[in-house]
Structure 1
Amino acid sequence: MAQQPPAWDAGTPGGPGGPPRGGGSVKALAVIAVGVILIVVVAVTSVVLVVRSTHDDHDTSASAAQSSSVLPSTTAPTPSGSPSTTAPTFAQCPPATAAPDTPAGWRTVAGKRGLAYDVPSNWRVASCGTLVGWEKRCNDGPFGYCAIRTMSGAATLEVPGCGDNSVGVSGLPGASNTTDIDEAVRDEAALVADIYTSDSGHVPTVALSPPRQLTVGGAPAVQIVASVSNIATSNCVGPTAIHSMVATTVPGQQGCVLFVISAPQSVPDAVSPAVVAEMVSTLRRAS
């Protein structure tokens, strides 16, 4: 099934379709594509990509290269929707400031998209410029893989005994193509089956919750939770997962900003639905 995000940033849903690699495990490989250094993380049933980049994460159609070696590159095309000249994204990160109601012992994640949230103390917070996402096999992508979804402002939960596998991933992707939060969250939900599809092509069953209205930083927001079942299992990849998606708008950000949490179930130290809900409740404007 699709593996959990390697770290790299992409923003708009609707990248190349198809099953992602790895359904939640994370494995690091150094890669360079169009001038960007990528660390590919193989997750549960989909592949998780980790990328440190100065590029913006609006374009989910960006492909992630996978290789055991670093290839030099002299050109770095500017992704669609990005300015031709810009400071490194990791220089645009707000401070990770805890809120008055941040749960005791939890850690704060601040993203370049103007939102922040908290994660339990056993989660690892990536640097703001690190991109995380899922990829799948495709014929026209670098090294045979294309991005399904990428996001920055990320954190991961790794568990002893699962090697490099990640059993929890969160991040803040963007949807620059729409300011309609309902459309943005529906587009995001359309990616879930791909994310949890196995590398061999086994497609899981996805059931979506009704949209839930909420408020983030004074702005309307909407959440859909996908319950994923019939996932192809492997090491530290269980048969079910919870995939939470929240869409909202943020002043100064193009289109919508999303908050995504992937929580495979029936695995060691699985992130419970209650913890997912508590993480969502901490979502706020970055200070």
Structure 2
Amino acid sequence: MNEEIVVLYSGGTDSTCCAALMAGKFSRLHLLSYNRFGLFGINNIKTNVSRLKDKFGENKFIHKDLNIDKLFKKVSYSRYFYNIRNYGFFVLSTCGLCKLTMHLRTLIYCLDEGVKNVCDGSNKNMKFFPGQMKIVIEEIKRMYSEYGINFMTPVYELNHPENLGWAAKTGLSNINIMNEKEVNFKNSSDSCFTTGQMLKNMGIFDSDNLKGTSLDKKMQARCFQLVLFNIFLYGYFLPAYGESLYFKVCLDFYKDKIKYFKHFIDEYVKKGRESRLGVCLF
């Protein structure tokens, strides 16, 4: 109970539920939010930070807003032509690159602050998003563990409300995926709580399953670049090649990215703010 933990915090229902669950297990939570060019509504995040403080106490949480603009560009464009040659249009998987940037920034924060635990609101129902794919999460865990940090995904097995998300709303969940079974965007188990239901039961939300509603959008930052990723994913890759190849190439791409940036992290450990990562962060 005397340990501290970092939560990658967007202000949405999944990361808020994650923070609420960890509030009962750790003495202090560092809620890290991130901003860069392309994100808007950053101040929305404060809405649920206030709810968490009201529920668990003001001193339980430290909320910080970290700028990752330069780091995101470095993650996205380092060895750009190498990545195009080897992974093609996966350089358009903006959401995964952004999440990897957040993890790299979080890892540096933990090294600076001496925090040994990290968690986020990754969830099985977002299985096509690289940062929420179990096989990629295992690589993220391995990256943290190499620096003595434990990474957890406490709400991974919880459900989402049905017919949620960009693909379902536009009808692209019914696309013909090459050589694959139909993609199931619905709950895998009716017996499993959603994060919204858990937050209502804890007395943090007044109603359950806010996810995807207009109120939910006012609680967290938004990103228009999600459209680019969805066009690549649902409009091109899945119909053309199927999800098995998507998962394989996605894993290879992000393993390669993590391996490449490990050298930068090691350099930061030795040189701090004078390192190449330090220049991007401070």
Please, what TM-score do these two structures have when normalized by structure 1?
0.26
Larger fraction in helix: 2
Return the structure number with greater strand share. Answer: 1
Q: TM-score, normalised by structure 2?
A: 0.27
